[in-house]
A and B are shown apart, each in its own frame.
Chain A
Amino acid sequence: MTGYTKALDWRVSVSEEMGDAADDDRRRVVAGVYAESGPRLYRYALMILADRQDAEDVLHQVFAAVLTKRTLPPFDDEGAYFRTAVRNAAYSLLRKRRTARDAAELMLEPIGPGCSPAEQAALEQALRALPPEQREVVHLHVYEGMTFQEVASATAESINTVAARYRYALDKMRKMM
């Protein structure tokens, strides 16, 4: 049983009991769902928003909303469900955002040898200069290993749009670096 299915069962028991035992169950199940998909979703939100605090807010909002719903529409792929929820919340936050974000805040971490602070700074600057939609495509394709067709399905865009966004993103990064 996956974490999200457990969460659905847990919501039923909470609505029936509303007691301390249900509260303990809630903490355990929420922790399990977050451990399973939280970090991946956070990185996705971070790449769209380019701001760590905003990414945390989005994740908090999505998990709270999903786990407090009494009924949910049926869906087959819980990963896709959460990814779409995070995406919608992130773009909703972008529309409301009125202040520029701190460009000095780090967004990436090195994972291999041969990395330098100067290289990382240049890469971060190039990524921040991209529109959120292009950063999103770069993230899903490079960091989540999705094909353009899978990215198109996840973002409800055509494969041509996805490929064009990736093309523009790399062109812009090439000019900046």
Chain B
Amino acid sequence: MQDPEIENLLRRYRPLPPGEHLSGAIANSPGHQIAKSRKTWPWAIAAAALLTITLGLHGAVVPAPDASLAAETRRVAAIVEELGGAPGSDVMAEWIAQRERRAEQDARAERWTAVEMVHQ
């Protein structure tokens, strides 16, 4: 059998066509994978978790507003009022408030020193 004969033999046949069900199977399958993509949700969950962790860390690291600063401002205002609100009294009031705060810190330090001496 020569090559042309084999080729003619091949051409009297051809590969079988696909079954009729394959068209329906192909038409039906891809849409579910698009409309109900399962790949989206893990990323969304991961993004939400990352955001939560970031916000939590931010809250833990950034300090809250200093409460003592507000208290000192109120104390300065009270002293200014006691001084009669004359010009320059705000400078005097701030100086007095600073002296009071240092005196409190010194007194607190002395108390801690006394306590430590008692324990020793």
Residues on A close to B: CB < 8 A?
Answer: 11, 14-15, 18, 22-23, 26-27, 30-31, 34-35, 38-39, 42-44, 46-47, 52, 55-56, 59-60, 63-64, 67-68, 106-112, 114-115, 119-120, 123, 138-139, 142-143, 170, 173-174, 177
Contact = CB atoms under 8 A, between A and B. Distances in A.
A174 B26 contact: no
Contact of B34 (A26, A47, A120, A138): A26
Contacts of B13: 108-111, 115, 120, 123
Q: Name the prevailing secondary structure of the B interface residues.
A: helix
A63 B24 CA distance: 12
Contacts of B26: 30, 34, 38, 59-60, 63-64
Interface in B83-103: none
Q: Name the prevailing secondary structure of the A interface residues.
A: helix
Contacts of A56: 18-19, 22, 25
A117 to B, nearest CB: 12
A46 to B, nearest CB: 5
Interface in B18-33: 18-19, 22-23, 25-31, 33
Contacts of A30: 26-27, 30-31
Nearest to B9: A123
A120 B10 CA distance: 9
A78 to B, nearest CB: 16
